[in-house]
A and B are shown apart, each in its own frame.
Chain A
Amino acid sequence: MSQVVEWNANRGAASRIAEVWSFREVIKNFVSQDLKVKYRRSTLGFVWSLLNPLLQMTVISIVFSLLFRMETGYALYVLSGILPWSFFATSMDGCAMSIVSAESMIRRQYFPKLVFPLSFVLQNLITFVLSLTVLMITLGPLPFVGLKFSAALLILPLSFVCIVSVAIGLGAIVAVITVFFRDVQHLITVFLSAWFYLTPVIYPLEKMPHRYQYFFKLNPMFGIIEMFHRPIYYATLPTMLEMTSAILVAAVSLTVGLYVFWRYEDSLIFAL
């Protein structure tokens, strides 16, 4: 029945992942309760997570259409970029404080600390998937949106896997850094907004001067966001370059993120 529990500082990736898995009930609780708290506060509840990207899309489409004469359907381009980016940015912000704000729990009971950033990412993922689905179905058929339902949409699960891997990897890193340097939280917000404008999220790469385009392609988030732009807006598969870049970025950030996290995990309790 009850097995031996032994502290092992050198436990490998497999046993750490198994440990997180054994805490899935806790993760489920964190996720559902955070969502409840978030939506209980307001009468509109989940509608808010639809309104927010919707308003952003409206403002950005109008402003950019006037400034740059975007073609019709630009609203869909904005939408298919803003939703994944918001998922990424909100996850980073949430992950940054995830361990610091769980201090009282961590002092009471043993946790594999990964459950805290992981719960934040999963919670945002649920909002992301729901709002993307709802907005595509409701807005898609509108003439100025013009969503084309094509087989290319079948690539989306892979797009989700990529962006979630990036969010978990980088989220784990910022969660650790914030424990040691609390002001990093503010830097992250500034950094994310700069990164947002440097990434072709709300403007197409083609609108940029030709000789600078390679610079945009070096951006790690470029391929990830194109994994959403291409199937939703262009109704085509991402290019080979974009797909390779997205998968590489996802794999590298997840690996490096978990490595860094587990390297420092055991010293977190003393720095809180």
Chain B
Amino acid sequence: MSDNYITLEDVTLRFRIYTTRGRSIKEAVVNLLARRNYGKPHADVTALQNVSLHIGGGQRVGIVGDNGAGKSSMLKVISRIYPPTAGRVSHRGFLVPLLEVGIGFNGELSGRENIFLTGAIMGFPRKAMAQKVGPIFDFAELNEFADTPIKYYSSGMAQRLAFSVATEIDPEILLLDEIFSVGDIHWVEKARNRMQALINRSRIMVFVSHQMELVTQYCNRAIWLRGGRIAADGPPAEVVAAYRDAADATSRPPPEPAPAIAAATP
């Protein structure tokens, strides 16, 4: 069982961010006929640059870094949602990504039907999922709404159900983008305990967060991404400290001109 792993070898991820321009046949044709050239309708972004990484069983990895440093992209490459532009990506073990905010349910279908759909997407046959339906509704406290279409749920209810489904499944490799924290205080407390239990059950966890104390609390390894490259990799306390120092250095207001220099200039 200890042979679960994630490996990235020299992975580069470049992709295009498309603007709204030129996304319709009509515009493409008009631009061609009028010989208009608005320049490229997209921008190329390098999200990851030659990243190599091995994560073995038992590791809880926290990924820190500024916005746009490639943290979420890294999780999406590991989970195959983003195909890498170059390099090798592989893992061994049942992998569940909990990445995007939002729910991803079909509003027309009941809560129960959505649970089966989510289960099928994550790779669970209907029979295995049938045993999980009860506990899921119990935890979400939504038993009386099991057969109500999701579109009649409040957004908080839908979030609760989504969280309960995702955390009822036992992954060997868990990818987490920020900790869920939606709902009333009673729910947040409950959710935190359940998340803790899920993390304890998983063999590998990779976790992206802007909350440094969560990284030091949950993880036994931290990686600092800067501009799509690994800037530091090691014990959480050290990596977080290094990242904090660098962030402080750039955000600190420029110091007052030292009197010694001021005196020397005339």
Q: Are A108 and B116 in contact (CB under 8 A)?
A: no
Q: Does B246 have its Cβ within 8 Å of any Cβ on chain A?
A: no
Is B81 part of the binding interface, using a Cβ–Cβ cutoff of 8 Å? yes
Interface size class of B (residues with CB under 8 A): 35 or more
Select the stretch in A23-31, A46-54, A195-203, A204-212 that faces chain B: A23-31
Residues of A within 8 A of B89 (CB): 6-7
Bound Cα distance A33, B150 (Å): 13
Of A138-146, A181-189, A222-230, A238-246, the one contacting chain B is A181-189
By the criterion of a CB under 8 Å from any partner CB, how many residues of chain A are at the interface? 33
Between A and B, how many residue pairs show CB distances below 8 Å? 95
Main secondary structure of the interface of A (DSSP, over half): helix
Of A59-67, A76-84, A99-107, A127-135, the one touching chain B: A99-107
- Check if B237 is an interface residue, CB within 8 A of chain A: no
The distance in angstroms between the C-alpha atoms of A270 and B116, with both chains bound, is 28
Please tell me if the beta carbons of A109 and B122 are within 8 angstroms of each other in the complex.
Answer: yes
| A5 proximal to B (CB < 8 A) | yes
Contact between chains at A270 and B100 (CB < 8 Å): no
Closest residue of chain A to B4 (Cβ to Cβ) is A2
Q: Among the listed stretches B63-71, B103-111, B138-146, B214-222, which one makes contact with chain A, having 4 or more residues with CB under 8 Å of it?
A: B103-111
Who on chain B is nearest to A106 by CB?
Answer: B81
- Report whether A104 and B102 are in contact in the complex, using a CB–CB cutoff of 8 Å: yes
Contact partner of B97 among A36, A109, A181, CB < 8 A? A109
User: Is A6 a contact partner of B90 (Cβ separation < 8 A)?
Assistant: yes
CB pair B23–A181 under 8 Å, yes or no, is: yes
- B5-30 at interface with A (beta carbon < 8 Å): 15-18, 23-26, 28
User: Could you list which residues of chain B lie within 8 angstroms of chain A, going by C-beta atoms?
Assistant: 4, 15-18, 23-26, 28, 77, 79-84, 88-95, 97, 99-100, 102, 104, 106, 108-109, 113, 116-117, 120-123, 125-126, 172
Give 11 A-B pairs besides A2-B92, A5-B91 with Cβ atoms closer than 8 angstroms.
A2-B93, A26-B120, A29-B120, A30-B117, A33-B109, A36-B109, A107-B81, A109-B97, A111-B121, A182-B24, A269-B81
Q: List 13 A-B contacts (CB under 8 A).
A: A2-B92, A4-B91, A5-B90, A5-B92, A9-B84, A29-B120, A36-B109, A37-B108, A107-B100, A107-B104, A108-B99, A270-B16, A270-B18
